[in-house]
Amino acid sequence: MNLPQDDWATQYEKDDNSFLLDVRTAEEFDEVHIPGATNIDIMKGQGFIYSVEELDKSKNYYVYCRSGARSAKACQIMSELGFENAYNLLGGIMEWEGETE
Q: Where are the domains of the chain?
A: 2-95
Active site residues per annotation:
65
Q: What is the pLDDT of residues 51-100, one digit of tens each?
A: 999 999 999 999 999 999 999 999 999 999 999 999 999 999 999 999 99
pLDDT of residue 89: 98
2-95: CATH superfamily = Rhodanese-like domain (3.40.250.10)
Residue type, 81: L
**Edge-to-edge order in the sheet of strand 38-39:** 2-3, 86-89, 60-64, 18-22, 38-39
